[in-house]
Structure formats: C-alpha cells, structure tokens
Amino acid sequence: MSNDNHHPTTLPSMFDRYGDYVQDALRSNLDLHGLAVYDLLRYYMGWADEDGAPIAAMTGKAVRPTLCLFGCEAVGGSVKLAIPAAVALEFIHNFSLVHDDIQDEDVTRHNRKTLWAVWGKPKALVAGNVLRVVADIALHALEGEGLEPKRSLTAVGLLTESYLEMIEGQYLDLSYEGRPDISMDDYLRMISRKTGALLRCSLNLGAAVGTDDQETIAAIRECGRALGYVFQIRDDVLGVWGEEEITGKPVGADIRRKKNSYPVVYTMEAATDQDRDYISSIYLKPELDEEDVDSVLTIMEKVGVREHAQTEASKWADSGMQSIAALELSHQHREQIEEFTHFLLVRDR
C-alpha cells in the first residue's frame, strides 16, 4: 500500500482511541447467537470464513461508531455509556452494505466475496434484515448502561429517522443511475440522505448520549452534516480515480456502472453541449467498454472536475469545523476532530 504525502493510508488517532471498544462490543453482540444466519453476518464482518471458522479478514474502518464514541466523550459523556449506540450504528451501516451489494450486484467487498455471491440473494437479504433488527436491539441497551429512559427514547428516534433517510437516499441513488439529467442539487439531496444521514447521526447520537445541552448537540450535529458531504464527495472521487490496489476497484469503476456520482454530475453541468451529448450517447449503451470509460475520463479532465470536487469537499470540511468553533472542547478533542476531517479529505480508500 502506498503511503505518500498526498494519500496517507493510516487512520487518525481517533480510531486508536476507540477501536478496541468498538470491536469488542460488536463481536459480543453477534457472538450471542448460534443460528446459521449469524455465521453469515460474522463472515460479513470479517470474523469468520465461509464455513464459520474464526479468521481475521480485512474489515471496515468503523467510521460511524468511532464518531459516535468521540461525540459522546467530546461533550463530557462516558464512552461506556455510548457503546450500545456505536454498535447499533455499525450494524445499520453494514445492513445497508449487504443490501447495496445485492442491488449493485457487487461480488467483492474488502477483497472477499459478498454475502449474496456466496449464499445467494434470498439468504443475503434475510441476513441484512436480521442485522438491522440486531442493531435496534443493541440500541435498547442504552437504558441498561444507565441512560435515563427519556434520553434513551430520543436516541432510538434519532437512529431510526437517520436510517430511514439512508434508505430513501439509496432509492434515489438507484433511480438516478443511467440518467443524464441529474442536477448538482439532486445529487446533494441524495448524498445528504444516503451517506450524510448516518454520519450526521453518528456525532449527533454520541452527543445526545453525552449531554442534554441542546445547543451543543445541534452544533455537533451540524458538524456531522458537513462531514457527510466531505466523506461522499471524496468517495466519489475515489470511485473514478482511486488506485485499484488500494480501493479494490479499477480506475473508472463508477463510470462503467453509470453511477451519477459527483464527477459525472458536475461534468454534465460544466461540459460543452457537444461533450454533454457525447457522454449521454455513451450512457445509453447497455454496457460500457474501456474506450467509453476513457472518453468520459478525458472530458472530466477537460472540465477539471477532480480539482473542483476536492475544493468543494474542502469547503464542507471548513464548514464542519466552523460549526463547532464556539464549543468548549478540550485541546485533545479539537485536535482529533480536525485530524479526522483532514483524513476524510485525503483518504485513498
């Protein structure tokens, strides 16, 4: 894995701080169950092979639970108190990925076969649904950890609303595929749901567990909203220009799938009529070949979309930091969220 100045692959210190809490809690929530469907889920989380035997495979970064625990501790709360919320967030995220893989017919994730590629779509759908319910159950442990009932109920509402938004965003994303008429406003509306909702909720939920000060919670939530845009815009850049050995996807992967990601939407708005018509004609094809992908990449280079996307992500990053500027965070916590935001801007995976 490359690790140059432009593309650091190391995770921010926030992940070291909370990583063990997250992994231990996630495992303990799934290890309680003996039915075969839980073997599928342990496989998906990277803890078991196809036969259910324990392994240590590549796993996700656990961005959402990490942000949740940070949000709680940053406002003066106890990490232990927020663990049920962190677990629920990661399971909801993975539930969405199980279904995404089916919808997109992706056969690999984290360099392993996806659930449906191993066990078929019906079983993968059921496993995803089970994980969603396990997430709901995990969140109800907040009260058992000592959070007062009214605030526990608020937390349940926050998570449920955010994953409804996430599913709405996924529907929009699917409905936009292959359409050349999607505007930047349409795109931003979609990502504010599909990716933004759960990232916003991660900080919001952590803060709501850690304090009952509504102004503090609102500021943290606004920071999370901005970071959702940073995350997805950078993700879209990687979907086109990410290095295959790091992302596991070839250059131009999202073009080949005709995804209406930031680079495509911006290019369609900024390109000449001739180039726009040319891209539209390419996207009308049932399948795109290498020459088609190269043609779209050339037009993207012409309008400077890669640089524009990075500039836009930087503006959202600044907005996120501005929203919490007035909060009385410790020096350590302010450093951690600034480091995390920078990571989102430059990550290569």
Please say whether the dihedral angle defined by the alpha carbons of residues 31, 156, 84 and 10, taken in this order, is positive or negative. positive
pLDDT at 3 (0 to 100) = 36
**What pLDDT is attached to residue 11?**
86
Residue 41 DSSP code: H
E-assigned strand segments in the chain: 108-109, 112-113
Q: Is 222 helix (H, G, I), strand (E, B) or coil?
A: helix
243-270 CB burial, b ≥16 within 10 A, e <16: beeebbbebbbbbbbbbbbbbbbbbbeb
Tens-place pLDDT, residues 188-198: 999 999 999 99
- Tokens 């992500």, located at residue: 313
Amino acid at 147: L
At 57 the pLDDT is: 66
What is the largest distance, in Å, between two alpha-carbon atoms of the chain? 63
- Asked if 270 and 312 touch (Cβ cutoff 8 Å), the reply is no
Where the chain has pLDDT below 70, the residues are 1-9, 57-58, 244-249
pLDDT in tens, 285-310: 999 999 999 999 999 999 999 999 99
47 backbone dihedrals φ, ψ, rounded to 5°: -105, -10
Q: Which domains does the chain have, with CATH numbers?
A: 13-346 (1.10.600.10)
Q: What does the pLDDT look like over 249-262, one tens digit per residue?
A: 677 888 988 888 99
Contacts of residue 1, defined as CB under 8 A and 6 or more positions apart, other chains included, come to 9, 245, 246
Measured at the CA of 303, the angle between CA 297 and CA 309, to 5 degrees, comes to 85
Residue 64 identity (one-letter amino acid): R
